[in-house]
Structure 1
Amino acid sequence: MKRLLIALLSLTLVGCSSSYGRPKLPYDAWYIGIGAPRHMEVWVESVDVIDQRGLAFERVHGGVVAYNNKTLGWWNGGGSMKPIGNVDLPEIIFVRWQSLVEPQTYNVRIDIPQWVRDEMVKPQRAFCPWSQKWKTDYRQNISIGMAPGGIAKAWIGGPCLENKEIGRFVGKVDKRGPDQGQSGGRYAWPSLEPESKAYIEQHGIPYGSW
């Protein structure tokens, strides 16, 4: 019965998506980037989105993140970027990830304020350093950084526009463990990279620094 209900819900969502049509945005897709502080290894199981139409989209991103190699703390946005096509501007973003240095599994809910959606469709003149030219640009990138202790931060930015912080969020431990309890407690990677392992053994995990 549970599987039947899930199947019916999925069909309902597909039908709703088709009836709503393609979102009316000034670009083909917006982007989600995922990352983590240096040495704080992460595996993202799922990024799910509820857009401003109320439609749910599961697993729009996940997997390997980008690490901040310049400093040990946060970097001002960026990450492993993925285009999010045929999805309207986000209202809520859910992230489930494995913090491999602890190890622990977390869930976090990121509520996207209206000012962020307004910023995402606001055309702005921007100077692009790599092309040395001015262009009309949009802040169409949402970056999410994850750290031990279930801490997440989110930023909004554009290819040629600086990032603005959306907020800091505290996730909850997923008591089911990695892969929603389907992996027998095994994490994505059985061991850390040698450099990360050496750093953790020498310095520990800097909880409270994020």
Structure 2
Amino acid sequence: MINAKTFLLIIFCLFVSACSTNSQIKSKQLNEWTVSTVAPKYYSAYIDILLITSETKQGGWRGMVTKYTKFSKNPNSWEGRERYSSGYSIQSTELPGLIYIRWHSLANKKTYNKTIKVSEDIRRKMREYHDIRCGYYDLLLPYKDNILLGLAPDGMISVFLNGTCFDNELQFKVQAVEYKVADDFVYPELSEEAQAYVDEHGVPTGIW
């Protein structure tokens, strides 16, 4: 005979197991993803507009990735893991089709804009399930669910795909075009440290 306490314990274990199974089933469909931005260290990018159109072109999202984007680890590369602090999170099983971004490059006081096409191949990579765990709590984080836009001061955009358990994977690069701002527009100032670096090294082109 099973006593009442044992019976309740069995029921509880079955309930937890069922919840865990349902959680695993749900995790096998990507239903939340982000678009993030990063700028080379010292070369601040001030985000103005971010528009995202869904893959079916039936709707979209408008969000802010925070005004000032985060920095890479050093001025001449995109190394670093500071990508999620400036992410715009979207809860949807539908993935992006187009991304429009406009930003101000404070180092050279120029404004750029570009519409970026997200290919079906990128969406396929985002939906692909990987049985992978990482981090202090060894969490199951199976998706490359973040599109990272590297915004260079010369207007070049490097489009990466990554995830909490995945490093940056460059998908392609695209050149943004310069956007004419109003004559009375005032660019925000760089920090003293960043301005000192730019004064010494200038604003290079073609290295990002």
TM-score, normalised by the number of residues in structure 1: 0.77
Computing the radius of gyration over CA atoms, which structure comes out larger, 1 or 2? 2
In the alignment, does 2:67 pair up with 1:61? no
The amino acid across from 1:130 in the alignment is Y
SS of alignment partner, residue 116 of structure 1: helix
1:184 lines up with 2:187 in the alignment: no
Q: Supply the distance in 2 between the matched residues of 1:71 and 1:196 (Cα, whole angstroms).
A: 10
- Verify: 1:148 aligned to 2:148, yes or no: no
Distance 1:28 1:64 in 2: 27
Contact preservation (8 Å) 1:40, 1:196: yes
Which of 143, 159, 162 is the aligned partner of 2:167?
162
Counterpart contact for 2:133–2:140, Cα < 8 Å: yes
Query: In structure 2, the residue corresponding to 1:196 is in which secondary structure?
Result: helix
Which shows bigger deviation, 109-118 or 86-95? 86-95
Identity of aligned residues (%): 24
Deviation at 1:103, TM superposition (A): 0.2
Q: CA RMSD in A?
A: 2.1
3-state secondary structure, aligned to 1:50 = strand
Show the counterpart of 2:34: 31
Residue of structure 1 equivalent to 2:118: 112
Aligned residues: 178
Equivalent in the alignment of 1:203: 201
Q: Which structure is higher in strand share? A: 1
Q: 1:66 to 1:87 in 2, by over 3 A?
A: farther
Shift of 1:91: 1.1
> Does structure 1 conserve the Cα–Cα contact (< 8 Å) formed by 2:41 and 2:75?
yes
What is the aligned counterpart of 2:134 among 125, 128, 135? 128
TM-score, normalised with respect to structure 2: 0.77
CA distance in 1, matches of 2:175, 2:80: 18
How big is the shift at 1:74? 1.6
Structure 2 residues not aligned, in runs of 5+: 1-27
Q: Distance in 2 between matches of 1:136 and 1:145?
A: 23
Matched letter for residue 173 of structure 2: R
| Of 79-88 and 109-118, the range deviating more from structure 2 | 79-88
Distance 1:97 1:72, change over 3 A: same
Letter in 2 for 1:69: K
